[in-house]
Amino acid sequence: MKRKIINIDQKKCTGCGQCIPDCPEGALQLIDGKARLVSDLFCDGLGACMGTCPEGAITVIEREAGEYDEKAVMANVVPQGPAVIKAHLEHLVGHGEKKLYDLAIEYLKEHQIPVPPHRAPGSPPDTGVCGHPSFSGCPGSAARSIPRRPREGYRHEPGETGSELRQWPVQLNLLNPEAHYFDHADLLIAADCVPFAYAGFHHDFLKDRIVIIFCPKLDTDVEGYITKLKEIFSLHEIRSVTVLHMEVPCCSGVTYILDQALKGSGKTIPVREYTVMIDGGVVES
C-alpha cells in the first residue's frame, strides 16, 4: 500500500544518533554509522524523529510500504520499559491518532501490562519548564485542540480582539488528516496572506472554525495538498467549508485545490467563498 513513511537522506546523515530516542516504536537503528529505517511495519509516518535531526536528513514521503502494525510495534515497545511505553502513547495522542492509541491500550490490557501514567486523549498538555508545554515526539506539529471560553474578570480594551484559534497546527503541510478536531467541524480554508490583509480575520471568519492555511503559488506539492484535503473530507463529517483567498490571480489556486479534493472524496459539503482585496476589503464570490 502507498502511505506516509520516514525517509533518511544517507548523504546528510552523520550518524549522530539523536533521532533514535525519539522513535519509541523502534523503527530506527544505527547501522554502519548511519541511521536506518529497519522496518516499515514499525514506522507510523508521523515524523516524531524529524525535529531532533540537526542535519535535516529525515523527511516524510509517500511510497509503497508495508501497513503500519500498532500491535507489532507494542510488542517491540513493551520490553523497553514503562518510560518508552509512556513516550509512545503520548506520541500517538500528540498526533491525534486515537485509533492507534486505543489499539496500544488494548494490547497492554490483553497482556496484563500496567498502563503507565501519561497524557491521555482530551487532557491538556503537560507543562514543562516555566509552564511551557512539553511534548513527546515533534512539538511543532503535535495536534492540539484549543478550547475557547470567556475569561472571568477579563475585559477587552476598546478595539481589542482576542484570538479565536481552536487548533494547532494550521499549515496544511503539517496537519494530520485523522486529528479528532476535524469531527463535525466547520472548516476555514485560507490562503497564507489573508490574515495580514484582512483585519477582521479572527472575529469574522476564524471564530468557531477549524482553520487550514497554505499558499497555492509558493507551496509546491499541490497534488499532496489535494490528497490530504480529500482524506480529511473522507474521514470526517465536515459541516461546512468557508474559503478565503486574495484577489491576485495566483491565489485562485486555493479554490482549485478544494474543488479537486471534494470531487475526489465524493462528498457534498456546503462551500462559501470570499475574496480579500489587497486594500483589506472582502467580497463574497
Distance CA 78, CA 71 (A): 10
Residues 20-37: b if buried by 16+ CB within 10 A, e if exposed = eebbbbbbbeeeeeebeb
Name residues of the chain where pLDDT drops below 50.
125-139, 151, 154
pLDDT of residue 135: 38
Residue 134 domain-assigned (yes or no): no
Residue 119 domain-assigned (yes or no): no
pLDDT of residue 76: 79
Three-state DSSP class for residue 78 = helix
pLDDT of residue 280: 92
Q: Which of 86, 110, 134 is the last residue of a domain?
A: 110
Read off the CATH number of the domain in which 272 is found. Answer: 3.40.50
Pair (171, 106) in one structural domain: no
Q: Which of 110, 130, 145 is the last residue of a domain?
A: 110
Number of domains in the chain: 2
Which residues constitute the domain of residue 36? Answer: 2-110
Q: What is the pLDDT of residues 194-211, one digit of tens each?
A: 999 999 999 999 999 999
Distance CA 85, CA 81 (A): 6
Read off the CATH number of the domain in which 64 is found. Answer: 3.30.70.20
Q: Which of 110, 135, 152 is the last residue of a domain?
A: 110
Amino acid identity of residue 162, one-letter, is G
Residue 123 domain-assigned (yes or no): no
Residue 151 domain-assigned (yes or no): no
Distance CA 20, CA 268 (A): 44
**DSSP class of residue 127?**
B
The reply to whether the predicted model has a pTM over 0.85 is no
Distance CA 225, CA 212 (A): 11
